[in-house]
């Protein structure tokens, strides 16, 4: 997990606070750690959802999720999320790679 550098105050519905408290107790972690872990998972979920809807690229999904592109590809494969890459995108990427070599 990343190093803490700043503080944010957030108002949450009572139901969400109750869930955080329940999860914290079940995982034997403090509430701050639990909230940070939920935010991390939320970023990943958001990135997956946006990618599946074709709204963002795999690179942007990786950036949002805080993962490398290869980690994101592995995660998508594990979750059986099909690639949004078109044949044209693939050929353009191949052309760029060949030019770099």
DSSP string over 42-101: HHHHHHHHHHHTTSS-HHHHHHHHT--HHHHHHHHHHTTPPP---HHHHHHHHHHHHHH-
Share of the chain above pLDDT 90, in %: 66
Is residue 20 scored above 70 in pLDDT?
Answer: yes
Q: Kindly tell me if the per-residue pLDDT of 84 is higher than 60.
A: yes
**CA distance to 13, 86, 91, 99, per residue, from 42 (Å):** 17, 27, 33, 38
List pLDDT tens digits, range 32-74. Answer: 999 999 999 999 999 999 999 999 988 999 999 999 988 999 9
- CB-based contact 76:51 (threshold 8 Å): yes
The token pair that represents 79 in the structure block: 């979750």
> What pTM did the predictor assign?
0.77
């Amino acid at each position: 997990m990343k190093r803490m550098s700043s503080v944010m105050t957030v108002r949450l519905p009572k139901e969400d606070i109750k869930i955080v408290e329940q999860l914290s107790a079940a995982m034997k972690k403090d509430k701050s750690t639990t909230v940070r872990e939920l935010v991390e998972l939320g970023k990943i979920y958001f990135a997956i959802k946006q990618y599946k809807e074709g709204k963002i690229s795999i690179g942007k999904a990786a950036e949002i999720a805080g993962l490398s592109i290869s980690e994101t590809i592995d995660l998508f494969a594990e979750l059986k999320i099909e690639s949004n890459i078109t044949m044209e995108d693939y050929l353009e990427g191949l052309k760029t790679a060949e030019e770099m070599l």
